[in-house]
Amino acid sequence: GQSLEQPSEVTAVEGAIVQINCTYQTSGFYGLSWYQQHDGGAPTFLSYNGLDGLEETGRFSSFLSRSDSYGYLLLQELQMKDSASYFCAVRDRGGGATNKLIFGTGTLLAVQP
């Protein structure tokens, strides 16, 4: 089966850096994605790692280590608007190009002034 583990909650202050970890167990692996969701709204795609290493997109970076079945999302220069839930997701073994994603349970990030 597939399982992904993330911390349930993280708190940080404005301007700081925060790292949200994700470990996964899957029968096949085709890459790790990250999504952001504000207050039960539509999840929005943030980043994708198909290979080991760091991907940077503005204030957000995502890292993957396939040998450790581990990845993280790094948020820098935190802003109040970054308060949201963050989900990691992996493509299911049969997913291929279908993006049939299995999601983690999410990490609620609270940014404090």
Partner 1 sequence: DADVTQTPRNRITKTGKRIMLECSQTKGHDRMYWYRQDPGLGLRLIYYSFDVKDINKGEISDGYSVSRQAQAKFSLSLESAIPNQTALYFCATSHPGTGGTGELFFGEGSRLTVL
Binding site for partner 1 (CB under 8 A): 8, 30-33, 35, 40-45, 48, 50, 87, 89-91, 96-106
Query: Shortest Cβ distance from residue 18 to partner 1 (Å)?
Result: 19
Query: Shortest Cβ distance from residue 67 to partner 1 (Å)?
Result: 20
Query: Shortest Cβ distance from residue 92 to partner 1 (Å)?
Result: 8
Angle at 111 between CA 78 and CA 35, to 5 degrees: 70
Residue with tokens 């993006």: 99
Query: Shortest Cβ distance from residue 29 to partner 1 (Å)?
Result: 11
The residue (of 59 and 100) whose beta carbon lies closer to partner 1 is 100
Please, are residues 71 and 62 in contact by the beta-carbon 8 Å criterion? yes
